[in-house]
Chains A and B, each alone.
Chain A
Amino acid sequence: MTAPTMLDWAVVCPLDLLDPDRGAAALVDGVQVALFRTGGELYAVDNLDPVGGAYVMSRGIVGSRGGVPTLASPLHKQVYDLRTGRCLDLPDVALRRHEVRCRNGLVEVRLRQEG
């Protein structure tokens, strides 16, 4: 087996379109991605709520739990670690993560084709 397939970086939007501490949904290669800008970092996870099954994660509230940057699902408030995607309230539940960076004032995302 080789490492997970990496697609190319896709330019999404200027950084200043992302409000601090508030998510935004983006469509990257047909996949809904939730982008967050919080605590000076950028995070990208799947927009799909793995528990509720709706594409809503970009509308959750970001915050922190014991120093860990977090995202709470707007449907039923399960809290996820934005760095790892791991759900902090339910075992064996996780958000798929994607790579995200800022280049020349533009936010870029590279999908991770895990699993």
Chain B
Amino acid sequence: MKFYRSHILVGINETSLKAGVQDFIQTLRLELKKNNLQEEINILETGPLGFFGKGICLSVYPENVNYQDVRIEDISELVSEHFLKGRPLSRLMLDAAGKFSPILNYNKRIVLRNSGIIDPESIDEYIGAGGYEALEKALTQMEPKQIVDEVKKSGLRGRGGAGFPAGMKWSFTAPIEAVQKYVVVNADEGEPGTFKDRLIMEGDPHQLLEGIMICGRAIGANKGWIYIRGEYKLCIERLEKAIAQCREYGILGKNIFESGFDFDIDIRIGAGAYVCGEETALIESLEGNRGNPRWKPPFPGVKGLWRCPTVVNNVETLANIPFIIQKGADEFLKYGTPECPGTKVYTILGDVAHPGLCEVDMGSTLRTIINDYAGGMKKGFRFKAALVGGAAGVIIPDRLLDVKMDFASLNQYAAVLGSGAILVMNEHQSIVDILWSIIRFFRHESCGKCAPCRNGSEQLYRLITKIKKGEGTMDDVELMLLIAETMQQTSFCALGQSPIMAIRSAIENFKDEFITITSN
């Protein structure tokens, strides 16, 4: 193995590809060679680095210096300053100290432990980082029941939003006798503001595959499906590559690790429908139908894909599995809170200094996440509110900034953790406006199967548009609450049950704004 003085990690994502990252890397290589540094400095193409720039972002290890929006024209200066003279180039550094990286600076990581560090397109690097050890353990040293018990013991709760205990979900399906069972990965991430699953898959696709296979072994399935958004091109490419590499190495296919276990994984591409994030709608879509949710029970765990027992898990949930199996549930329990162990991956957006991706302990406060991981508010702005959990989430005002972010604590505020989006708004943003945008989203995405959601979202949109224009009254505001509450109680699936969250939190916490706009 070769040793290098420094590693330049180059984040490859949609934005950097657009900014011409491939040409950039080529030029960087030539420049290093020109300075005779090619044996000392290594370039690593990797996944998300945890912060977003408008172009190409770099992290330099072990110095831990982060650069953003680097252009081809900057390369010669960068190489001569940083790598020849050893002085980081301050004008391109992420912040004054240049050390800010929410993803790389903190050690408490499970899901993102390899993200931004290994090359996501290389199975060898994943294996070098301890990858597929958990699978080997699960196949050769553990009985399926032991795997389920270990996941149960870990207290892992589903990371898709609902927070249902993962081990319990598996334990319903595992004992069922069936000719065929399936593992389905819900990677149809349509929640506005949420794209952590995309980054998890782009940064470390093998970890997800390993989680799927371990789940397959635990519940007795030999086929996995990844249902992924059609828009996620890079993600799809990386997963396809990872699957091909696994097949080549005999990690997918027949008799894996000579344990007698067969397993294969295929990708299915979605076509743009938010409701397909609901597990039964997703199954309908996988079968080639409209994504209308099914009546439950029977639950997918008993009758799912093609009426076979099916476990549907979110990407992040499955990405936790290799860690739990490799290191044991006790190690996992050291993270987070006793009720909600582990970590949570968030995307932080809006008016913060460094929008990005981070993984924090369950139960960290919203204030910590915004200040320590997103660098606080963007210069010159004051915090007004945060939309937590995407469109199906709640609007949290500053007096609740110290709320602990986990399933149990948020419940006390009738709030949800959702799928991990935090959209931060400054004092100039209008809550009525944002609520209008949220309701427009629900109206557009209602699948139309049930009347409360179909008609309710239309009426909500009509009312909020009227209020936004300044033509509404407080009676209209009250009526919105009534409609949303009715939808919550009578809608067929979670989509129609969700608008109440944003509406209630907006009206309760920012009533003044509604009074002002309706009395004009």
A and B held together in a complex: no
Interface residues of B (CB under 8 A from A): none
